[in-house]
Amino acid sequence: MTKAPPNPHLVLAIATVLPGMGQIMNRQPLRGLTFVFFILLLGAFTLKTAAPEVSFVGKVAGGLFVWALAMLDAYKTARIRRAVWDHGAK
């Protein structure tokens, strides 16, 4: 019998706190590292190119956008993995 995949809500909570960790919990470490790379890359890019009067959130908006995508991806993947496991593909 194989071990159950992690609870999708736990994966989402971890992905919310630590970018890329949701993918790692879903056994997709390369995907997680790729998300972290693009979070840092786009965060740094928008930080350097944003106008000085823009708020901090606006300056790192690129990274925040990719982080949000990473959270959704981790949750969606965890839900699919859990549904497959629950329906007998053990």
- State the helix-helix crossing angle for 29-49 and 61-86, rounded to 10 degrees: 160
| CB contact at 8 A, 69 and 19 | no
Domain ranges of the chain: 8-86
The per-residue pLDDT for range 8-58, each reduced to its tens digit, is: 999 999 999 999 999 999 999 999 999 999 999 999 999 999 999 999 999
pTM metric for this prediction: 0.89
Over 70: is that where the pLDDT of 90 sits? no
